Amino acid sequence: MSDHDHDHDDDHDHSHDGPAQRNALRVEALETLLTDKGLVDSAAIDAIIRLYEQDIGPMNGARVVARAWSDPAYKQRLLENATAAVAEFGFGGPQGERLVAVENGPRVHNVIVCTLCSCYPWPVLGLPPSWYKSPAYRSRVVREPRAVLREMGLALPDSVEIRVWDSSAEVRYLVLPERPAEAAALDEAALAGWVTRDAMIGVGQPRAPHPRGSEGR
Amino acid sequence: MNGIHDLGGMHGFGPVVVEPNEPVFHGAWEGRVLALVSLALARRIANVDAFRHAIERLEPVEYLSAGYYGRWLGALELIVHEWRGRGETLDAGGPGTLRMVTETARFAPGEAVRTRNLQPTGHTRLPGYARGKRGTIARVHAGFVFPDTNAAGRGERPQWVYAVRFDATELFGTGAEPNACVHVDLFESYLEPEPGDV
C-alpha cells in the first residue's frame, strides 16, 4: 500500500507486465509525445535527473546548518530569511521559492511534513525519501508526532514542546537542529558531517559521522 | 476536494517504514517522470496547482497503490490529455508562486483566528483536519498565488499566507499528545477572526 512497498517492484519484479515495466512504457509514450511537440528533449531530461542524483541533496542543507552552528551572524540571517541565507551558498530553485528555518532548542523540537502531497525543501535536502511521502508518515505525524518520532528512534520527553509544520502552501521548511555538545571543538567542514537529513526534517538528531553508509539518513 | 490525498490525522496506515540506504530513484522511469513533469510545468502545459489537483483526481485506490512517482505519472498523463483537449493552449500564469499583494495583511502575529469550514469540490490547501479550528497567527509569510482558483484556470488571485499555530488538542481532541502543536500554512480567505483569546 505504501510507496515503499511499491518501489520494491523495481527490484523484485522482472516480468514484462510488472508495474515498473508498465510505468516505463507509459513514461516512454509521454516522452515521445512531448518530444514530438517540441516541449522536452532528452538532454534536458538527463540534466534534471543528474541534478537530483548528484548535485542536490542533504549535503547542501548540512553545509547550511554547519555554518549556522559556526557563525552566529549567519545563523541570525538564516532564521530571519532562510531563502537569502541558503542563496549565499548558491542554493535555490524549484521548491525553494520561500524557505523558512525553524530552530530546535532544549525545550522545542520541530518536525516537518506535507499532509496534502509531499512538499519538501528540494534545494537544501534534495528529493524526499519514500517514508516522507508515505501515507503512514503523512497521516500520523500531525496526530501523534511523539509516537512517530519514538518509532524512528527519537524519544523526546513531554517537557519538550513538539512543533509540527505542515507545509500546505509554497513555503518550505528546514529544521535547524541543536549543535551537539560532543562536536563543540569541530570546524565548519567537520560539523557538516554530523548533520543528517533526518535531523533537518526533525525525525532525528545530528550524530557523529559513520565511516561509511551514513549518507542515506 | 475531500479526497484520499488529504491524509492528515487518518488512522490505519501502520508504522512508518524506513528503507535503509534508499537510492534517489528506484528505477530509471522515476527520474524521467520527475524530469518530464518539471519540463511540462516549465513549458506551461499546466500550472503547479493544476498538477497537484490532477494527482488528487486519481482514483483513490490508484492514489494509494501507485507510489509517489506512479502518482506523478498518472497526473502527467491527465494534464497532457487535458492540454491536448484544450487545443494545446498554455497556462498564462507568471513564473513561480510568490506575488505582491497590494492590500495589507488582514491578520498580525499573535492574533486569534478560526479556519472556515470550507468543503470545496475543487483543489484546496486547507487540510480537512484543520477546518473550523481555532488557532493563532504565528507568522505572516508573504503573498502567493491562490491554488484554489489557479488550479481551475480561474486566475492567480494572490493572497497573504500565514503560518497558523493550532494546539494539538484543538485539532485532535482530548486524546492528542501532550505539549504539541501543528503549524499549517494557510491562505487568508481560509481564515476569519476569532473573538476572544484562544
Quickly tell me which residue has 500550472 as its cell: B47
CB contact A196 to B (< 8 Å): no
For B175-184, the pLDDT digits (tens) are: 999 999 999 9
Q: What is the pLDDT of residue A124?
A: 98
Q: pLDDT per position in chain A (217 positions), as tens?
A: 444 444 444 444 444 568 899 999 999 999 999 999 999 999 999 999 999 999 999 999 999 999 999 999 999 999 999 999 999 999 999 999 999 999 999 999 999 999 999 999 999 999 999 999 999 999 999 999 999 999 999 999 999 999 999 999 999 999 999 999 999 889 999 999 999 999 999 999 999 997 654 444 5
CB contact B101 to A (< 8 Å): no
Q: What is the pLDDT of residue A210?
A: 78
Q: Which residues from chain B sit within 8 angstroms of residue A158, using beta carbons?
A: 178-179
pLDDT above 90 (res B4): yes
Q: Which residues from chain B sit within 8 angstroms of residue A121, using beta carbons?
A: none
A90's grid cell: 548558491
Q: Which residues from chain B sit within 8 angstroms of residue A106, using beta carbons?
A: none
Q: Is A119 a catalytic residue?
A: yes
Q: What is the pLDDT of residue B195?
A: 86
Residue B32's contacts (CB-CB under 8 Å, 6 or more residues apart) are: A27, A31, A45, A49
Q: What is the pLDDT of residue A32?
A: 98
Overall average pLDDT of the B20-44 stretch: 97
Model confidence at B196, in pLDDT bands (50, 70, 90)?
confident
Q: Which residues from chain A sit within 8 angstroms of residue B5, using beta carbons?
A: 116-117
In 3D space, the residue among B124, B136, B163, B173 whose CA is nearest the CA of residue B9 turns out to be B173
Q: What is the ipTM of this complex?
A: 0.97
Report the residue of B39, B89, B182, B186 to disrupt the A interface, i.e. the one with the largest count of A CBs within 10 Å: B182
Q: Is A2 a catalytic residue?
A: no
Shortest CA distance from A137: residue in chain B: B16
Q: What is the pLDDT of residue A184?
A: 84
Q: Is A118 a catalytic residue?
A: yes
Whole-number Cα distances in Å, A95 to A124, A185, B30, B108:
10, 34, 18, 26
Dump the DSSP string for B27-56: SHHHHHHHHHHHHHHHTTSS-HHHHHHHHH
CB–CB of B34 and A170 under 8 A? no
